[in-house]
């Protein structure tokens, strides 16, 4: 996956806001997997992945409906942002161990 910046996390959190709470973890993990898949495709072929784009989390999030970005006074947004950061951390830890 390409380096993750604030905009990537925000876009992913906004995608999570559009689905029921029970589906957010699964969607978050899926988006991280898709970004990693797209980045590997780009590295191997020199071309963007035909579905998932350039390997950024923002690109895979933008393939989905995005909620308007609320402020951090919105509890649901904070929880979605936290979910993204949590699963990114798990992904990075797992990748370092591999």
The closest alpha carbon to 12, from 21, 3, 29, 22, belongs to 29
Q: Is the dihedral of CA 62, 63, 67, 71 positive or negative?
A: negative
Q: Is the dihedral of CA 4, 63, 95, 69 positive or negative?
A: positive
Alpha helices in the chain (DSSP H): 6-17, 24-45, 57-61, 75-97
Phi and psi at 49, nearest 5°, equal -65, 135
Q: Give the predicted TM-score (pTM) of the model.
A: 0.95
Beta bridge partners of 49: 53
Which pLDDT does position 98 carry in this prediction? Answer: 72
Domain boundaries, the chain: 6-97
Average pLDDT value for residue range 33-41: 97
pLDDT digits (tens, 9 = 90+) for 64-85: 999 999 999 999 999 999 999 9
More confident residue, 98 or 52: 52
């Amino acid at each position: 996956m390409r380096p993750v910046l604030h905009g990537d996390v925000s876009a992913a959190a906004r995608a999570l806001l559009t689905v029921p709470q029970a589906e957010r973890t699964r969607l978050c993990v899926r988006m991280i997997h898709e970004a990693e898949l797209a980045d590997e495709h780009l590295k191997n072929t020199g071309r963007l992945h035909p579905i998932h784009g350039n390997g950024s989390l923002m690109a895979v999030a933008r393939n989905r409906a995005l909620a308007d970005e609320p402020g951090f006074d919105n509890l649901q947004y904070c929880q979605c942002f936290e979910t993204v950061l949590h699963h990114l951390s798990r992904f990075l830890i797992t990748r370092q161990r591999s």
